């Protein structure tokens, strides 16, 4: 039987509608992560420089949302199990909405516009952290929600759409930032433009929150809390009555055997999960996403041109994410990761050399695109695929929470240290990310198992042998 074929009785329009609403969480994940790229220099001019603070404070402020991401990722399992997948996503939508309004106008109630103070800086960081908690929740719960709703024969493609939505959200906000900044003076951007960039996120956040009231809770969660009749009704609506009973029996069996000690399969599987997450960040990708306009400006591009080059980079990200989705089940996980590591190393070492010799031109853009394209067709989506596959069923919930929290912690460290590293040496900074790319290659080659074509039971047996 063709696993990609539509099974009899499946309600594809209903499934597609639910999935598209859920992927708005992924889109907001990408939107919130990348919106700072267009606003960070104006935030520095308005809040950091105005108070005479250091580049370290600038880096910590620009990356403050990542503190929330760590918190959101860490509590995601607890929240999803406690109030359900759907309500957890509604909480994330509310957090996105509040963060968008607060980050765009942090003076609300307590401060005067145009008068930067330490209190205002703390408030801005508070609102960004609120949004980060939303991102952390969405990064963990959206794939779980889609995976638990989707029929098995099309689950892989549907879950992959969430990764596509993340990158698409980044692309959308690059266009939004470019549209806001186009033709405007630096003074206007420092006073008004950056606010509009943050406020723009309120539109998709509000839409996400409203639409979530029209989707069901997942059958797996409903079964977990004893609401079997509701679970069965949703399964029948998705799969048709003929297969709903069989799926329901499988879910009940999984639920009954879902607990397990985190270390019950040894330490190596947990270590591999954590290192996959850490290397995904230590190669420096979020530096390229958060600071893209500034990188292009520092290499000779005008403000408008740097924003446009960021849009070009966003388009490349989308195209190469699609390439990964199309090829991951054909080529395998390890080959894609290894090829991606090679491409990232070439890109970063080249940028380091150009920075060292102070060579500015189109070559810089080319190598940044080589670097980001290599990441997007490998470490971007494939890390999430592997994290969802390598952990045995009995420890998956706990292990994924650990891996996601480690990922956001690594993200925060890399993003917050970038400005001070660049102050020390641009060549050293990009060279460091190049070295991390090489180490990521060696890690995959030596430690990561190939999961293509293996059932979860086969993966479990791998760790039991070690």
Tell me whether domains 11-215 and 264-466 share a fold.
yes
Helices then strands, counting H and E runs in the chain, come out as 23, 0
Task: Report the CATH architecture of 264-466.
Answer: Up-down Bundle (1.20)
pLDDT of residue 67: 87
Stretch (H or E) spanning 3: none
Nearest to 411 by CA among 320, 293, 290: 290
pTM, to two decimals: 0.77
Average pLDDT over residues 340-363: 88
| Exposure class string for 19-32: b at 16+ Cβ within 10 A, else e | bebbbbbbbbbbbb
DSSP state of 190: I
Average pLDDT over residues 108-126: 81
- Is residue 200 within 8 Å of residue 175, measured between CB atoms? no
pLDDT of residue 271: 94
Topology (CATH) of 11-215: Growth Hormone; Chain: A; (1.20.1250)
Nearest to 23 by CA among 204, 254, 245, 243: 204
pLDDT of residue 456: 46
- How far apart, in whole angstroms, are the C-alpha atoms of residue 234 and residue 218? 8
Q: Helix (H, G, I), strand (E, B), or coil: what is residue 464?
A: helix
pLDDT of residue 128: 93
**Domain limits, the chain:** 11-215, 264-466
**Tens of pLDDT, residues 373-421:** 999 889 988 887 787 777 775 676 678 788 888 888 898 888 778 888 8
């Amino acid at each position: 039987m063709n696993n990609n074929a539509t099974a009899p009785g499946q309600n594809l329009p209903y499934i597609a509608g639910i999935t598209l609403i859920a992927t708005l969480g992924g889109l907001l994940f990408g939107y919130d992560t990348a919106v700072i790229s267009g606003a960070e220099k104006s935030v520095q001019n308005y809040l950091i420089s105005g108070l005479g603070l250091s580049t370290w404070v600038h880096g910590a402020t620009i990356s403050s949302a990542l503190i929330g991401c760590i918190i959101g990722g860490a509590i995601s399992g607890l929240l999803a199990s406690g109030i359900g997948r759907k309500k957890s996503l509604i909480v994330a939508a509310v957090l996105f909405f509040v963060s968008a309004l607060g980050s765009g106008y942090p003076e609300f109630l307590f401060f005067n516009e145009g008068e930067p103070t330490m209190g205002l800086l703390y408030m801005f960081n508070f609102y960004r952290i609120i949004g980060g908690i939303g991102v952390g929740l969405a990064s963990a719960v959206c794939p779980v929600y889609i995976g638990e709703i989707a029929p098995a024969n099309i689950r892989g493609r549907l879950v992959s759409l969430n990764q596509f939505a993340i990158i698409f959200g980044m692309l959308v906000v690059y266009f939004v930032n470019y549209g806001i900044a186009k033709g405007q003076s630096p003074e206007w951007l420092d006073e008004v433009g950056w606010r509009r960039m943050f406020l723009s996120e309120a539109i998709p956040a509000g839409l996400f929150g409203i639409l979530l009231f029209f989707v069901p809770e997942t059958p797996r969660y409903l079964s977990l809390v004893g609401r079997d009749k509701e679970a069965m009704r949703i399964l029948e609506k998705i799969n048709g009555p003929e297969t709903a009973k069989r799926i329901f029996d499988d879910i009940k069996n999984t639920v009954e055997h879902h607990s397990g000690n985190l270390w019950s399969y040894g330490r190596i599987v947990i270590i591999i999960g954590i290192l996959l997450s850490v290397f995904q960040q230590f190669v420096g990708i979020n530096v390229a996403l958060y600071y893209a306009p500034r990188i292009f400006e520092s290499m000779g591009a005008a403000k408008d041109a740097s924003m446009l080059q960021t849009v070009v980079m966003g388009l490349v990200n989308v195209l190469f994410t699609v390439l990964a989705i199309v090829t991951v089940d054909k080529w395998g996980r390890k080959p894609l990761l290894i090829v991606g590591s090679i491409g990232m190393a070439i890109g970063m070492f080249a940028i380091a050399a150009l920075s060292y010799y102070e060579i500015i031109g189109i070559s810089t853009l080319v190598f940044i695109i080589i670097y980001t394209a290599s990441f997007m067709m490998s470490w971007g989506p494939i890390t999430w695929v592997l994290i969802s596959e390598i952990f045995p069923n009995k420890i998956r919930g706990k292990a994924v929470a650990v891996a996601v929290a480690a990922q956001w912690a690594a993200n925060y460290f890399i993003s917050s240290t970038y400005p001070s590293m660049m102050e020390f040496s641009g060549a050293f900074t990009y060279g460091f990310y190049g070295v991390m790319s090489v180490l990521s290659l060696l890690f995959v080659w030596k430690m990561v198992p190939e999961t293509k074509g293996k059932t979860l039971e086969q993966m479990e047996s791998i760790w039991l042998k070690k």
